[in-house]
């Protein structure tokens, strides 16, 4: 896929017009139009960086944007098993984030990094008694 088609692909996924897309990236419409019309053979790195920053949820692959190599999204690189683990981790983090304070979250992260045995005990305890884990973490 050439530079013009890659930019059109990205813009089409946003559902924005060229003018709206240019505004999102804080670029001139003429520059976006120039790229999409095929007047530029190479994808500008600064535009690629803006796409990565403004469209973080899409998780675009910088290499694909700039060269066309690889998959458009980094999410597509993950195996089904890796995607499942990532989804489970996101759910755990989301539950933890909404149910504990920042200090408690930092302590859990510290345990995860420092000591696998404590981590396993904490996770088992968390399943049965979340308040006991909070109390344990705050007393340690």
Q: How many domains does the chain have?
A: 2
> Do residues 39 and 56 make contact, with C-beta atoms less than 8 angstroms apart?
no
Give the global pTM: 0.53
Same domain? 69 vs 34: yes
Which of 6-10, 60-64, 75-79 has the weakest average pLDDT?
A: 75-79
Alpha-carbon span 83 to 108, nearest angstrom: 23
Token code pair at residue 49: 């960086």
Same domain? 12 vs 69: yes
Instruction: Please give the pLDDT value at position 22.
Output: 95
Which of 26-30, 72-76, 95-99 has the weakest average pLDDT?
A: 95-99
Same domain? 18 vs 64: yes
Same domain? 73 vs 91: no
Same domain? 57 vs 115: no
* pLDDT tier for residue 140 given thresholds of 50, 70 and 90: low
Same domain? 106 vs 62: no
Domain that holds residue 69: 3-77
Interval 14-40: pLDDT, tens: 999 999 999 999 999 999 999 999 998
């Amino acid at each position: 896929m050439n530079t013009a088609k890659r930019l059109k692909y990205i813009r089409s996924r946003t559902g924005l017009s060229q003018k709206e897309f240019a505004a999102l990236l804080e670029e001139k419409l003429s520059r976006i139009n120039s790229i999409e019309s095929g007047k530029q053979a190479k994808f500008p790195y600064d535009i690629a960086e803006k796409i990565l920053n403004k469209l973080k949820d899409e998780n675009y692959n910088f290499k694909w944007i700039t060269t066309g190599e690889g998959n458009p999204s980094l999410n597509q690189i993950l195996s089904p098993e890796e995607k499942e683990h990532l989804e489970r981790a996101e759910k755990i983090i989301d539950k933890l984030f909404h149910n504990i304070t920042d200090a408690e979250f930092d302590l859990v992260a510290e345990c995860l990094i420092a000591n696998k045995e404590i981590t396993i005990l904490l996770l088992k305890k968390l399943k049965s008694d979340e308040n006991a884990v909070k109390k344990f973490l705050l007393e340690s």
